[in-house]
């Protein structure tokens, strides 16, 4: 009964990885796989974010819900999120979503006592769990390490105070964008560029220059010594068709042919810092596998159909 396999064996080549950035090539698969991965990275890889805020004191200029919303948008380190439970299916706290398996508690206390404005930032959020804390951007590549400030939540003047308790929960971007670990995830088709050398050589240097400059991005260049048109950076091409239109206008159609390779993709992944960019890709693969597993036919559906088959055979007089 087992059919032959139609499985593909995609190839990966990583070009660059940093904590919050990854660029890689995905080959020998199709756009549906590339797009599914992109969609899952943006909307279905879980993270932890503040979801419930109880305000004790707020005499700041921002209203309670405004502050609650800002707290929700602060990225929290979420390496643990894949292993955590969603509050809605947590049986340890039956639905109130405040137990250790499905939530992390935060406290914030700040009061301005001086004439100088006090900045309340993500650094003032005190976590009950050292693995889930506001993302620290300050030490990554020494970005102005002099003032390690964190993300500003609100500013207080003398006498103003903010005191609150917050609950962070596991969630996905599909529910609310605050849970999305992705800042941007994009992929492009790898372009394949063929220059018609014979036709190109019928152009004067001036014509070549004007054709090369018709591209809004620097895709082509002219070799200084040979005065030949060369592809400088194929990936700079944005599929804008400008060089094709220019060739047409110059009376040289077919000067260049550009195809999008249908099985090669160049991915750019930027993370919010909640998880590493490379981990985001791996988690997306896991989540997609779980999703596929969830759409398998259940035993009873198969059984019901088998009976239907017998009934059908019976009715056909078998």
Partner 1 sequence: MNAPDRYERFVVPEGTKKVSYERDTKIINAASFTVEREDHTIGNILRMQLHRDENVLFAGYKLPHPLQYKIIIRIHTTSQSSPMQAYNQAINDLDKELDYLKNAFEVELAKHSREY
Q: Which residues bind Zn ion (CB under 5 A)?
A: 90, 92-93, 99, 101-102
Q: Contact with partner 1 (CB under 8 A): which of 30, 54, 235, 303?
A: 30
- Using the minimum distance from each CB to partner 1, give the nearer residue, 105 or 175: 175
Q: Are 150 and 134 in contact (CB under 8 A)?
A: yes
Q: Does 294 bind partner 1 (CB under 8 A)?
A: yes
78 phi and psi angles, rounded to 5 deg: -125, 30
Stretch that binds partner 1, among 113-121, 145-153, 205-213, 278-286 (CB under 8 A): 278-286
- Min CB(123)–partner 1 separation in Å: 28
- Using the minimum distance from each CB to partner 1, give the nearer residue, 44 or 190: 44
- Using the minimum distance from each CB to partner 1, give the nearer residue, 142 or 251: 142
Q: Is 204 helix (H, G, I), strand (E, B) or coil?
A: coil
Query: Which of Zn ion, partner 1, none sits in contact with 294, Cβ below 5 to 8 A by type?
Result: partner 1
Q: Does 291 bind partner 1 (CB under 8 A)?
A: yes
Q: Does 302 bind partner 1 (CB under 8 A)?
A: yes
Q: Are 131 and 81 in contact (CB under 8 A)?
A: no
- Using the minimum distance from each CB to partner 1, give the nearer residue, 40 or 108: 40
Q: Does 315 bind partner 1 (CB under 8 A)?
A: no
Q: Are 185 and 42 in contact (CB under 8 A)?
A: yes
Query: Which of partner 1, Zn ion, none sits in contact with 93, Cβ below 5 to 8 A by type?
Result: Zn ion
Q: Provide the Cα torsion 292, 294, 298, 299; round to 10°.
A: 80
Which ranges of 155-274 does DSSP label H, i.e. alpha helix? Answer: 197-201, 205-212, 242-249
Q: Does 260 bind partner 1 (CB under 8 A)?
A: no
Count of positions (residues) in the chain = 318
Instruction: Show Cβ contacts of residue 130 under 8 Å, excluding neighbours closer than 6 positions.
Output: none
Q: Which residue carries 């950035």 as its tokens? A: 21
- Of all residues in the chain, what percent are helix, strand and coil, respectively (each to 5)? 30, 30, 40
Q: Contact with partner 1 (CB under 8 A): which of 296, 299, 317, 318?
A: 296
Rounded distance, CA 38 to CA 218, Å?
27
Which ranges of 5-106 does DSSP label H, i.e. alpha helix? Answer: 31-43, 64-72
Q: Contact with partner 1 (CB under 8 A): which of 106, 143, 256, 308?
A: 308
- Min CB(175)–partner 1 separation in Å: 5
Query: Which of partner 1, Zn ion, none sits in contact with 42, Cβ below 5 to 8 A by type?
Result: none
Query: Which of Zn ion, partner 1, none sits in contact with 102, Cβ below 5 to 8 A by type?
Result: Zn ion
Q: Does 7 bind partner 1 (CB under 8 A)?
A: yes
Q: Which of 31, 7, 22, 10 is nearest to 190 (CA)?
A: 31
Q: Are 214 and 249 in contact (CB under 8 A)?
A: no
Q: Does 44 bind partner 1 (CB under 8 A)?
A: yes
In the complex, the residues that contact partner 1 under the rule CB under 8 A are 1, 3, 5-14, 17, 24, 29-33, 35-36, 39-40, 44, 88, 172, 174-176, 278, 281-282, 285-286, 288-289, 291-298, 301-302, 304-305, 308
């Amino acid at each position: 009964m087992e059919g032959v396999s139609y499985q593909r064996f995609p190839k990966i080549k990583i070009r660059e990885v940093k904590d919050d950035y990854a660029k890689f090539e995905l080959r020998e698969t199709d756009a549906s796989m590339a797009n599914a991965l992109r969609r899952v990275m943006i909307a279905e890889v879980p993270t932890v974010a503040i979801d419930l805020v109880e305000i004790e004191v707020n005499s700041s200029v921002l209203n309670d819900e405004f502050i609650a919303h800002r707290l929700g948008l602060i990225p929290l380190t979420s390496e643990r999120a894949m292993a955590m439970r969603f509050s809605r299916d947590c049986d340890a706290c039956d639905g109130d979503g405040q137990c250790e398996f499905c939530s992390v508690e935060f406290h914030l206390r700040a009061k301005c006592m001086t004439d100088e404005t006090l900045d309340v930032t993500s650094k003032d959020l005190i976590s009950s769990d050292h693995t889930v804390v506001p993302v620290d951007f300050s030490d990554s590549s020494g970005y102005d390490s002099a003032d390690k400030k964190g993300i500003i939540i609100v500013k207080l003047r003398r006498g103003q105070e903010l005191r609150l308790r917050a609950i962070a929960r596991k969630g996905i971007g599909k529910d609310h964008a605050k849970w999305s670990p992705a800042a941007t995830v994009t992929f492009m088709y790898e372009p394949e560029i063929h220059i018609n050398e014979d036709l190109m050589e019928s152009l004067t240097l001036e014509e070549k220059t004007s054709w090369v400059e018709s591209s809004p991005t620097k895709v082509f260049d002219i070799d200084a010594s040979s005065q030949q048109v060369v592809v400088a950076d194929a990936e700079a091409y944005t599929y804008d068709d400008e060089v094709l239109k220019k060739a047409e206008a110059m009376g040289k159609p077919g000067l260049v042919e550009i195809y999008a390779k249908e099985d090669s993709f160049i991915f750019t992944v930027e993370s919010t810092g909640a998880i590493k960019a490379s981990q985001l890709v791996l988690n997306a693969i896991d989540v997609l596998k779980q999703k596929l597993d969830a759409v398998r036919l259940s035993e009873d559906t198969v059984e019901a159909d088998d009976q239907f088959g017998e009934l059908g055979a019976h009715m056909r007089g078998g």
